[in-house]
Structure 1
Amino acid sequence: MKIVSSHKPSFLLIKYSLLLLILCASIATKAQDPVFIQLSEKNKLPDNEFYNIHEDRKGFIWLCANKGLYRYDGKTFKNYSNPLQRGASVFNTQEDNLGRIWCNNISGQFFYIQNDKLHLFKDLSDYLNGELGDFVIRNDFLWVFTVKTIYKIDLKTKQIIQQHTTTKSFGTPFSFNNTIYSGAIDSIISINKDNRITSIIETKLPHIGKKGNAISLGKSIIFKTDSIYIYSQIRNKKNSFYKLNFPQKKLELVKGLEPLEKIKLYTIFEHNDETWIATNQGVWVFTFKNAAFQLKKRFLTDKHITKIIRDKDNNYWLTSLNNGVYIIPNIHIETCNIPLKEENIKTLDKINDSTLVMGSNRGNVIFYNINSHTSKTINLPVNEGKLSKLKYNPNQQKIYLSKGFRNYILDYRNLTLEKTRFFDAAKSFSFLAHNDLLYTNHNKVVLLKNANYHGKEKFISTNKRTYDSFYDKIKHQVYVSFVDELAVYDSLWNKQIIVNNKKPIYSKSITQTANGIVWVATFKNGLLGIKNGKVIRHYTTQNGLTSNIIEKIKADQNKLWIVGVNSIQKLDILTHKFKTLTKRDGIKSYNISGIEIIGNKIYFSSDKGLFSIDKNNAFKTLHPKVYFSAVEINEKDTLITSNYTLRYNQNAIRINFNVNGFLFNQKGTYKYRLKGYNDAWLTTAIGENSIKYNSLPAGEYTFQVHPFLNSTSTNYEIKELHFFIKKPFWKTLWFILLIVSLILGATILYFKQAMLKKEKERIAQLEKISLEKELIAINLTALRSQMNPHFIFNALNSIQDLVLQQDTDASYDYIVLFAKLIRSTLSYTNQDFIPIEKELEFLNVYLQLEKLRFGDDFTYTITYDAHEELEVPSLLIQPFIENALVHGLLHKEGEKKLDITFNLSENTLQCIITDNGIGRKKSKEINLRQGNRHESFALNSIKKRLEIFQKQYVTKIGFVIEDIYKNNNPNGTRVIVTMPFKYLF
């Protein structure tokens, strides 16, 4: 092999030896490995050490583990234990005809699950003596197999009703078609449907070894493949395999299983024409042809695999001793054998129907043979970066390689490598008519006539980044996806811009289906179908896509393979139906760099290697069945039943539902509705499997739910729950009648009370009239008391003195004041309330006249600081002032003071009258000597008047008289009058 330059002869010819340039990493012929999903403690698997696994008739997965028995419902692992259980580890899970799950432990205890609890069936520790017995549940009996004894136990009475012993050890039982088989060293026994134990074949195997008996430790195993029963026994420390010849009652040596001679066998799994054997060196898969076993494939070779099952959704479950549980979600998705260091693949192309060529991130070329499953690596010169794009030219049998600015042409016939100045940083290659080659890169589109990379190139476009190109062989048009538009060129290189709803199309991958439609994957606008320069189809998440961001597409006749950011989908463009695969189905990566189709397989190159999908069988048809897992009423668990009758306040309902299995809850949703509340079907989010109604009104409801995978999902079974929420007692008929009766009675009572109230109001009105009359009379009496003859006489004498003194002006002023006082008294007597300004004016006139009598020794103040405009009872305060003058100040010598203050606070009006007179005690003594009872008469009239006001206004009204002392000697009197008032607005 050599590298030559396509430059002018001035460039040196570079030669490399074959050993330097080519590393042929040939891998031994073997099948491709399935794709695994490993469950471990890191992703909530409760243990890493598992001994057995079983799927029951309801789809629950049961796991026997070192830490106990677990049930998996597709979302969570539930642990089961019994208080009498000795040790956590359990083994040998199986199901009886009643649907109960059985297991046992090394302590000789046998358990079963019933009503979601683990029950102890029987303790055989005294019989098994620490031996872990195998067992089979059939009809009404439990058959327990130990090394030396078989026990038959009645399931109803729990009594041992039969024992069968041997001096040679029994092997692991195998049950098929109502018959149980077990191999002892000296014979093969069977237990038929009538529960009779019969020796059907005497082994009579040749003895090996010096002592004539080289049987090794370990239980014999019987399994079935096709119609052949195989018997395995350890002899001379090797696994030996024999065919059971029932007609001739003999064993016949079987060939093909020799690789298992030194390996520990755990269990055998049969499916279709394959025999899967779980061993301490992984899984061995054989086929049985021409009376011999043939090894088909091996995987998980460094793991202890203990049990293999295939569930109802065609997932393969493999339990291991130290590495948790492995799941093969899709046996039709396989990993190709690419060297680990080259698994980050950047570009992919097809050489022929048996060979693929790839370019890796390390910059090398890898050939992969799909028949022998071998790969060969061509190491290109180092330190030149990744191999970003390659293209095979079948006419010249050459491969164009782009490594940034270091580009090569590899001759597939002799593996010579030639440098070239073309193809730098290529984004795409397209072969046109006449073997013309179009390639695009980050800033140009270039045409090479007849793929002649030694000739002159033609520049179709420059200074614009590209992503992909495609040649339409039907219309001889070239599609180029630029950074800002999608362009199509005709054979004369005339350019047309394709738009979608008058907007540019930003695309990254282009292909064409057999019906002539060109399909474009967009950055965020889904998938577009183009014909005659117009968009005629548009797929988004609204009509089937799982994402509007499409990474890569590839046509397969009239089907499209679509790589999105969260799935790989297949679209039938004639029926418009989608099928979807995700990582949960076994897809290794969504970072896909290339797609190629060979036969019935689709090959995808990715950052995690090369994997294939069987396009006919990879898409599973799931038949999910939903069930109700819990019902909560007012946040309390309740028994699950089909009908519920609830009180009106039991209206907070939570319903949990589920589909058992590994895949559904990771990719499926549920449709539900509550008939009677909202008849429209609603859809849950992926992984959501409960619905809560917080406050349902009274009524009848039917909750319905069914699984939902995609828009084509139909005919799934609908599950129902019925709820009847009673009306509250106040909405029942009897309560309504009671309320009507009470309202009628209350109405009658109301009118009676209203009539009584009116009668009371009439009587109160009469009383009010009577009080008003009485008040008028008292006012008149008060008037007479206020203007007593002494006051009038003294006032007139004072005026007479002024006249005699010929003080005409002063005489005139006092006559005017006296007249004003008499006029106000007569005017206000007929009014219950007068403005407080008039009351203050009246008191001021009265005190001015009194000052004539008392002389200059007498001073007074009248104070009202509030700003509110009020009305007060007329002439109410004057008798108190007169009383202070006559009884307090008249007999006092020296300075005489009188203070009158009105205070308004908190809807209370008080008048405080303070004098510095002789006090009440001394005044009383003087009055008794003089026989003066004026005070008593005046105050009694005022008191009566205030009592009437209190009845009218129902508030605290009255007066209080307090004595004032100074140094324990009388120093005056204070009267506090609390009076009614009205606001003036």
Structure 2
Amino acid sequence: MYDFQEKTVYSMAQAKNGNVWLGTSNGLYRFDGMDFKKYVYPNYEIEYSNIKIDQFDRVWCSNFSGQLFCVEEDSLKVIIDESYDQELIANYYIVSEDALYYTSHNKSIIHLDLNNNSETVVFSVGKYRCISDSFQKDNEIIFTEVRNSKDVTVRTITLHTLDINNSNISPLDSFQIELYSSKEFAGSLEDKIFYIQNHVSQNLCLIGANNHYCKSSPDFSNQEVNNFLSLNDSVLFMLGVSGTYQYKLHQDSLIKTKWSNLKNSSNLLIDQENNVWISTLDRGVFIQTNNAITATLIHPSESIRKVKQLGNGKYAYLTDESKLYLFTANGPTLIQKDVNPNFNIGYNHYDSTILLPSTDDYYDLSAAQFKTKAFTNYFKHLHPIDEGVCLLTGERLDLVSMDKNYNMNNLGYRLHLKKSPETEYFEAIATVKRSNLITEEGNKNHLYVMFTDGLVHFTKDKEEETMYYDGKPILASAMHSDSSSGIWVGSNTGLIHRIQDGIITQTFDVGSNLLDIQGTDSLVYGLTNVGILRLDISSGESTLINQYDGLLEEEITKIYIENDSLLIWGEHHLQKLPLTYDKTNPIAPRVSINQLSINEEPVKLSENILLGPDENNIEFQFNSLGIKSRKGQIYHFRIKELSDQWEQTSYAAPFARYSQLSPGSYTFELKACNEDGVFSEVKTFHFTIDKPMYQKWWFITAVVLVVLTTLFLLVRYRMSVLRKQNVLEKEKESLKKQTYKSKITAIRAQMNPHFMFNALNTIQEFIVTNQGNVASEYLADFADLMRKYLDQSKEEEISLQEELETMEIYLRLENLRFDNQLDYKIDIKGDIDTYATTIPVMLLQPFVENAIKHGLLHKEGQKKLTISVFNSSNELTIEITDNGIGREASSRINQKKQRKHESFASSAIEERIQLINQTSPHKISIHFDDLMNQSQQPSGTKVTLTIKQSA
């Protein structure tokens, strides 16, 4: 079994998770459907027996040196150690999670509290008494007390019950029996109690209840019994040296049925898939995957080559050692040696004779002896026609009869026979074509012979005809005539034909070449290279029966239908399958995850396992203890957080791998499907892959806090620096503004004396020329102008209105100097609030002065000067236009005269504008236009001041 090497197996049990535990002479083993794991406890006896699985799915076992063990954390733990008293633990019963009872060979029943390991003796026996056997039934332990009397041939058996809830003991019954040197067994069967004494020469069984016990001597085949086992209180199995027998209760008697031929069997287990496990004391463990299929070992050392059904449960077969056997209910009997094992066996059921090719001997089944026949023809197949009459296939198709005067007209079909006159018996040749298979319908009116070129039908009403299907001749590989009229034909193209009266009535495509065929009115069985095909005629559905359904893994030689069973002849065994067998496996597989590997390293399985962030390459290995459907199972698995779709893998690759999983919580789901589509329950495994430290909330929070703190400190530091810089900048700006203001003031200081000098010269000129009235008027305006200058000297900016009023006074003074020849005008265009609009103080005066001194002074004729003010968008535009000589002519005059008293310099004006732009919210730009007349001669100058108003 699965390469299990242990030969001596005492005990077996199956846990709820499907694992099978085996107690052997060399350790305790666990089988998980794929592998065996061995358990031993160091320095103790390693022969383990009496395995039990309690209601908490804990595994218990005992050995032969007084220890009781429990499997905890995947290793053996000693619970009871009686080795120092040299006592054996005969039996034990787990009654709760923390308590048990056990019987020892010191004639005691002891209660053990597993919490504190305290023991209480609840029953003991004295001299000449012992506790022979015990068993548990519901909440009671029933045990037998044996008392030997002074009369050594008689012993008294007393049955006691022990209430496991309170340890109360009550006598149940008592009876006397003869004293044997024997093994004793006790148990329950159909609510009755049995007590068995077994001895190789005599057996005793007491069965009964309520003080009524019947004594019987059951047939235990006079063998040594290794074990009695009661399954579900309905069937008693006896496991012994000669095999396994099944006993059922019938009117206080045990009715025996041979159940298995396995020698020296010791224990029996029917697992969750209804497979039968039989352990032996010298050959290991055998598994029968189908209770419906029984197997009988015919020849362990010879291989069966040819088989022929004889009827009434009898068969003839040839082995590879050239021996011919007759098989009956009593087993095989050798009837002839030195027979070619490649010969087919012929049988004539009309006269019960077994015939072999190329020999003059035949076996008379009725007389049970060999006799001599007249003909020695070789044949491949023999088809009986009547007593002593046969059709033979081979190199040709022959009809032979032991009666030399056989009448060929007795045949129910037309054969063109050519009689051979030379023989001492009747022989006629039907055809010289090579022939093979042959059969006829039950009414004997239709004969079918397979020739090399196809299947030929013979009947009386017409000539022979080759049978065709789909335009091609039928090449039969197997034929069988059933009980009704008609035959079944299997072809080498995977077709099965039903033929009646020479007509194909049904055809089924089964897809496999048929080596043999047997059929009934409702079922057809075909032998193929991969198993036995079962065809339901009514539905047309076919199923394959093979080793996964319980057939032995050996070559099948022949199949026959006998009564209500299909007999399957193999190399060494005869297997029997009921025709009513339903191969559907309704048992759901039990799937389990048996190994978890992280980064290719196995780890201990634990629920809700937490893995590190780099432990994200995961492999699950799993299996299912599905013996029957082991290789037909399909595993379905998924991690539902990754996909809703189920992936699949076969039994040959029972693992699932996931690589580079992201951090998070996952649920691995697994289920198995057997060969008939029955699914197991979904097995789940939860695990979590932890996030890296840098992805954890506390780390992120800490980093954020650190970053925020750092930013806060940096911002705070930066703000401090900026504040200091701002203070410095403000101080610097203040100093700069003060410097600019000082420069502007200095420039303005230069402007005022310059103007005052020119004005005083003009007043002096008026006085010298006796123009006192003009001088007085001029002096009054000059005083007003000086007062305005003094008032404005404290301001940075003044209203446009004030500036224009100052220019009005200034131009009046200049007009007096020009003897009223200066035509000036101040023009305000548009809707301009001159009082609200501000400009830098003394902005226009230098430009007006330059227009007069450089442009109009040298102008002959009428002198004009216009100041135009208008608003555009967010800009204030002031144009100063004169009709003087122009800048170019003025520049030439200035260069020639090199006058000592110049008007205010243009460089000073530009410097002042730059200083104003740097210190004032007003941004001022200057543009000069040289005006030309129609003759392109200079006709004046226009200065445009554009002042961008602050918002």
Residues 247 and 257, structure 2, Cα contact 8 Å, conserved in 1: yes
Partner of 2:62: 104
- CA offsets, 1:541-562, max 9 Å, x none? xxxxxxx454322223232222
Partner of 1:75: 34
Structure 2 counterpart of 1:170, from 131, 134, 137: 131
Deviation at residue 174 of structure 1 after TM alignment: 0.7
**Separation in 2, partners of 1:718, 1:533:** 50
Structure 1 counterpart of 2:624, from 643, 656, 659: 659
**Separation in 1, partners of 2:474, 2:653:** 36
- CA offsets, 1:466-490, max 9 Å, x none? 5534446699765554556556667
Q: Does 1:537 align with 2:498?
A: no
- CA offsets, 1:766-813, max 9 Å, x none? xxxxxxxxxxxxxxxxxxxxxxxxxxxxxxxxxxxxxxxxxxxxxxxx
Q: How does 1:131-170 map to 2 (within 5 A)?
A: 131-139=88-96, 140-147=98-105, 148-167=107-126, 168-170=129-131
Partner of 1:120: 78
Distance 1:590 1:560, change over 3 A: farther
Partner of 1:65: 24
Q: Classify the secondary structure of the residue corresponding to 2:378.
A: coil
**Separation in 1, partners of 2:662, 2:306:** 61
Q: How does 1:510-549 map to 2 (within 5 A)?
A: 510-511=479-480, 520-523=489-492, 525-529=493-497, 536-540=507-511, 548-549=512-513
Partner of 1:608: 572
Partner of 1:979: none
Q: Classify the secondary structure of the residue corresponding to 1:612.
A: strand
Distance 1:560 1:700, change over 3 A: farther
Q: Classify the secondary structure of the residue corresponding to 2:176.
A: coil
Distance 1:411 1:497, change over 3 A: same
Deviation at residue 100 of structure 1 after TM alignment: 0.5
Structure 1 counterpart of 2:195, from 231, 246, 266: 231
Partner of 1:419: 373
Partner of 2:599: 634
Structure 2 counterpart of 1:397, from 337, 346, 351: 351
Deviation at residue 97 of structure 1 after TM alignment: 1.6
Q: Does 1:444 align with 2:406?
A: no
**Separation in 1, partners of 2:293, 2:538:** 25
Q: Does 1:293 align with 2:248?
A: no
Residues 409 and 420, structure 1, Cα contact 8 Å, conserved in 2: no
Q: Classify the secondary structure of the residue corresponding to 2:109.
A: strand
Q: How does 1:783-822 map to 2 (within 5 A)?
A: none
Residues 389 and 401, structure 1, Cα contact 8 Å, conserved in 2: no
Structure 1 counterpart of 2:478, from 479, 502, 509: 509
Distance 1:616 1:386, change over 3 A: same
**Separation in 1, partners of 2:427, 2:547:** 47
Q: How does 1:902-917 map to 2 (within 5 A)?
A: none
Distance 1:689 1:427, change over 3 A: farther
- CA offsets, 1:592-611, max 9 Å, x none? 34322122211233432543
Q: Which amino acid aligns with 1:440?
A: T
**Separation in 1, partners of 2:690, 2:456:** 68
Structure 1 counterpart of 2:86, from 129, 139, 144: 129
Q: Which amino acid aligns with 1:191?
A: L
Deviation at residue 722 of structure 1 after TM alignment: 7.0
Residues 589 and 606, structure 1, Cα contact 8 Å, conserved in 2: no
- CA offsets, 1:540-595, max 9 Å, x none? 3xxxxxxx454322223232222222322323243344444434655346533432
**Separation in 2, partners of 1:651, 1:490:** 78
Q: Which moved more, 1:174-183 or 1:384-393?
A: 384-393
| TM-score normalised by structure 1 residue count | 0.58
Q: Classify the secondary structure of the residue corresponding to 1:173.
A: strand
Identity %: 19
Distance 1:320 1:374, change over 3 A: closer
**Separation in 2, partners of 1:423, 1:726:** 85
Q: Classify the secondary structure of the residue corresponding to 1:457.
A: strand
Residues 527 and 559, structure 2, Cα contact 8 Å, conserved in 1: no
Partner of 2:673: 708
Partner of 1:770: none
**Separation in 1, partners of 2:233, 2:221:** 22
- CA offsets, 1:4-37, max 9 Å, x none? xxxxxxxxxxxxxxxxxxxxxxxxxxxxxxxxxx
Q: Which amino acid aligns with 2:103?
A: F
Distance 1:649 1:171, change over 3 A: same
Partner of 2:268: 308
**Separation in 1, partners of 2:396, 2:695:** 80
Distance 1:496 1:294, change over 3 A: closer
Partner of 1:188: 159
Higher alpha-carbon Rg: 2
**Separation in 2, partners of 1:471, 1:397:** 18
Q: Which amino acid aligns with 1:591?
A: E
Partner of 2:465: 495
**Separation in 2, partners of 1:530, 1:343:** 33
Q: Which protein has greater RCO, CA pairs closer than 8 Å, 6+ apart?
A: 1
Q: How many residues align?
A: 661
Partner of 2:828: none
Structure 1 counterpart of 2:437, from 468, 479, 488: 468
Deviation at residue 191 of structure 1 after TM alignment: 0.7
**Separation in 2, partners of 1:731, 1:519:** 74
Q: Classify the secondary structure of the residue corresponding to 2:630.
A: helix
Residues 669 and 687, structure 1, Cα contact 8 Å, conserved in 2: no
Deviation at residue 437 of structure 1 after TM alignment: 5.7
Residues 401 and 423, structure 1, Cα contact 8 Å, conserved in 2: no
**Separation in 1, partners of 2:399, 2:663:** 76
Partner of 1:385: 340
Deviation at residue 512 of structure 1 after TM alignment: 7.0
- CA offsets, 1:343-402, max 9 Å, x none? 6241312434x4444455566664444xx44555543xx5452472344444x3344623
Deviation at residue 101 of structure 1 after TM alignment: 0.8
Q: Classify the secondary structure of the residue corresponding to 2:132.
A: coil
Distance 1:690 1:431, change over 3 A: farther
Q: Classify the secondary structure of the residue corresponding to 1:656.
A: strand
Q: Which moved more, 1:137-146 or 1:626-635?
A: 626-635
Residues 549 and 629, structure 2, Cα contact 8 Å, conserved in 1: no
Residues 633 and 673, structure 2, Cα contact 8 Å, conserved in 1: yes
Partner of 1:808: none
Q: Classify the secondary structure of the residue corresponding to 2:146.
A: coil
Residues 336 and 611, structure 1, Cα contact 8 Å, conserved in 2: yes
**Separation in 2, partners of 1:429, 1:725:** 75
Q: How does 1:693-704 map to 2 (within 5 A)?
A: 693=658
Distance 1:485 1:116, change over 3 A: farther
**Separation in 1, partners of 2:670, 2:61:** 34
Q: How does 1:712-751 map to 2 (within 5 A)?
A: 712-714=676-678, 716-719=680-683
Unaligned segments of structure 1, at least 5 residues: 1-38, 209-213, 541-547, 739-985
Q: Which amino acid aligns with 1:135?
A: Y
Deviation at residue 342 of structure 1 after TM alignment: 7.6
**Separation in 2, partners of 1:400, 1:236:** 41
**Separation in 1, partners of 2:393, 2:316:** 20
| TM-score normalised by structure 2 residue count | 0.60
Deviation at residue 674 of structure 1 after TM alignment: 6.5
Residues 307 and 315, structure 2, Cα contact 8 Å, conserved in 1: no
Partner of 1:849: none
Distance 1:310 1:698, change over 3 A: same
Q: How does 1:867-882 map to 2 (within 5 A)?
A: none
Residues 188 and 233, structure 2, Cα contact 8 Å, conserved in 1: no
Distance 1:180 1:470, change over 3 A: same
Deviation at residue 98 of structure 1 after TM alignment: 0.9
Q: Which amino acid aligns with 1:45?
A: F
Q: Which amino acid aligns with 2:555?
A: N
**Separation in 2, partners of 1:673, 1:461:** 67
Partner of 2:815: none
- Please give the root-mean-square deviation of Cα atoms over the aligned residues, in Å: 4.7
Deviation at residue 240 of structure 1 after TM alignment: 4.4
Deviation at residue 146 of structure 1 after TM alignment: 1.3
Residues 205 and 216, structure 2, Cα contact 8 Å, conserved in 1: yes
Q: Does 1:595 align with 2:556?
A: no
Residues 498 and 533, structure 1, Cα contact 8 Å, conserved in 2: no
